[in-house]
Structure 1
Amino acid sequence: MSTKKYKYTKDNVYLTEVQRDFYEENGYIVFRNLVDFNLLDECTNRFLEYCDGKVNTGYYVKVIKDMSLKNTDAKGEFLINKIQDFNYDDILFKYISYKPLVDIVQSIIGPNVTAAHSMLINKPPNSEKNTSRHPLHQDLHCFPFRPAELIVASWTAMEKVDEKNGCLFVMPGSHKGTLLEHEYPPNVTNPGYRGVLGLEHIPTVNLVMEKGDTVFFHPLLFHGSGPNLTKGFRKALSVHYGANNCNFINVTPKMDKVALYHAKTKGFPEVTFNLYWKAKSRIVRGEPGNFQNLRSQL
């Protein structure tokens, strides 16, 4: 056990001291070849089943089309940009609960782990540049739970990702700051992609990754991704994990409106924003906590 004082990680059980130091300083860390290829291929096949309408989406899963391709002849994998909130899909939960991945999460946020938000993101070819790119942003902007130090994202490349097909880029050390206001940047046409303006002059680092490579990052870290300029796809799996006893807070009306719209489309007209987040989350490890307490808002 390290004798150093750490703010952004919890222990050395699954991280070396060098790895903890890197995450503490930079707000992210990449693990090469972490996720088994067979698991990723299984997840890809599940995604294709969603794309082809072969899977019932249930209460929570959202299948999202690429905005710029909706009125074209694109179908299936060539049209779908994302499936979201698949915590209760038994196939995709294999990634969420994958032990080598959750072990690292545990050393960052502690032994009680809940999957709060999940996405399989696909950048199809022929998407417009300003739809495909995701501007610089902080994920904490979207979450009604705190503290930030008890939240971490995993992001796994399902195929090679680089500058050509829209890899992630990060601003190292930016997790040490505060949550900034998010707006729609100029020329970004995706309504789900808000960003932080005025930071274009600050250098970023591109995360070129091979299949199975995984980056973990803090929810205040400024990050984004470029457009897919190739004729292939760019797929990645991403999950945001929170400690089971995170505290829920009130959020801005803008955030509340978007999430409640999705809740209503799934048959929950009276649900509150926080209850919706609790209901779609899923415990992964440890003792139940605030995420699992639904009674307080019923």
Structure 2
Amino acid sequence: MSSKRYTKNNKALTDQQRDFYEQNGYIIIKNNVPHHLIDELCTRFVEICENRVPYEMPLIIAKDKSLLEKGYTGQHAVNKFQDILHDDVFFKYACYQAVGDVVESIIGPNFSGVTSMFLNKPPFGHPDLSIHPLHQDLYYFPFRPINTIVGTWTAMEDVNEMNGCLFAVPGSHRREELYEHDYPKQERRNRFYHGVQGFENEPRVNFIMDKGDTVFFHPLLLHGSGVNKSRSCRRAISFHFADSNSYFIDITGTIQEKIVKEFEPQYKFDYMTIYRRKGRHVRGNKGSFLNYQSNL
């Protein structure tokens, strides 16, 4: 029997890489996504931003208010696309074999996409709206088991401290605790960007990545991203995958209820229906997770 708790098999990871993920809660895979696919995804992003091609719901375009106030338009005012799994161009990322093989090594062979974002961190905006505060992604998820969820974040150009790379608290997933989240105390804030408080002195690692590198990370890992101080956009694509037989939980009365009450009016559905609508099966058995007939 395997002694590993947070990974499943050696489909695409060596024992050494699995040990690193077990210990730290993340693993960076160099050259994981080819440049031609990244360029195709970036083109799709720009074309939608500039109204050159149609798109369909549930894709949502989120814009930086401080840049709109300065008169920026198109791609230069957008900070992300949310829920892009049902766009057939962006879905190519979820289906790309080298991404899926690492996902399979971490959570097993049967999985669905549950969140999906094209992240665009423009320059020249208000610094408070350029950061993503330290947080845990599990805070947003009304489903379990925890260890059969994994996030991916692929750099679509070189990322570093200057243009707002990711950072994380290595090993924080092993505490196996979901912390209280709330909006940070700052002048301006992005809607839904909750964060944790009291971890300012925790040792952090910056994820310095080249175009095509992907970081895979545990949903309890404390992580965030910094301000873009460069003169160009910092782009990435980020999905979460979960085992296709995951199950929904009742989060009434828990620390997650706060985000639920904020999300539901935006989407006009209950929280479980939101995830069933925006999720999409990717690999292996389809399972019951996203089935509308499955219940608590």
Give the TM-score of the pair, scaled to structure 2: 0.94
Please, which moves more after superposition, 172-181 or 287-296? 287-296
Deviation at 1:253, TM superposition (A): 3.8
Equivalent residue in structure 2 for 1:129, among 127, 130, 143:
127
Corresponding residue for 1:227? Answer: 227
Counterparts in 2 of 1:87-98, with a 5 A limit? 87-98=85-96
SS in 2 for 1:117: strand
Deviation at 1:59, TM superposition (A): 2.4
SS in 1 for 2:289: helix
Residue 155 (str. 1) matches residue 188 (str. 2): no
Deviation at 1:4, TM superposition (A): 4.1
Counterparts in 2 of 1:34-183, with a 5 A limit? 34-177=32-175, 178-183=177-182
Q: In the TM superposition, what whole-angstrom CA distance separates every residue of 1:220-270 from its partner, at most 9, and x where no partner exists?
A: 000000010011110000000000011101234432233322323xxxxxx
Q: How many residues align?
A: 289
Residue type of the alignment partner of 1:258: E
Gaps of 5+ in 1: 265-270
Question: Percent identity, aligned pairs only?
Answer: 47
Residue type of the alignment partner of 1:254: K
In 2: Cα distance, 1:250 partner to 1:53 partner: 40
Residue 257 (str. 1) matches residue 261 (str. 2): yes
Residue type of the alignment partner of 2:23: E
Deviation at 1:12, TM superposition (A): 1.3
Corresponding residue for 1:186? Answer: 185
Q: In the TM superposition, what whole-angstrom CA distance separates every residue of 1:25-76 from its partner, at most 9, and x where no partner exists?
A: 0000000111000000000000001211234332210000013212221011
Counterparts in 2 of 1:199-214, with a 5 A limit? 199-214=199-214
Please, which moves more after superposition, 184-193 or 198-207? 184-193
Q: Is the 8 A contact 1:33 1:212 kept in 2?
A: yes
Residue type of the alignment partner of 1:138: Q
Q: Is the 8 A contact 2:32 2:214 kept in 1?
A: yes
Please, which moves more after superposition, 165-174 or 283-292? 283-292
In 2: Cα distance, 1:36 partner to 1:182 partner: 36
In 1: Cα distance, 2:77 partner to 2:88 partner: 24
SS in 2 for 1:21: helix
Aligned CA-pair RMSD = 1.3
Q: Is the 8 A contact 2:192 2:262 kept in 1?
A: no
Gaps of 5+ in 2: none
Q: In the TM superposition, what whole-angstrom CA distance separates every residue of 1:186-220 from its partner, at most 9, and x where no partner exists?
A: 21522221111000011100000010000000000
Q: Is the 8 A contact 1:134 1:224 kept in 2?
A: yes
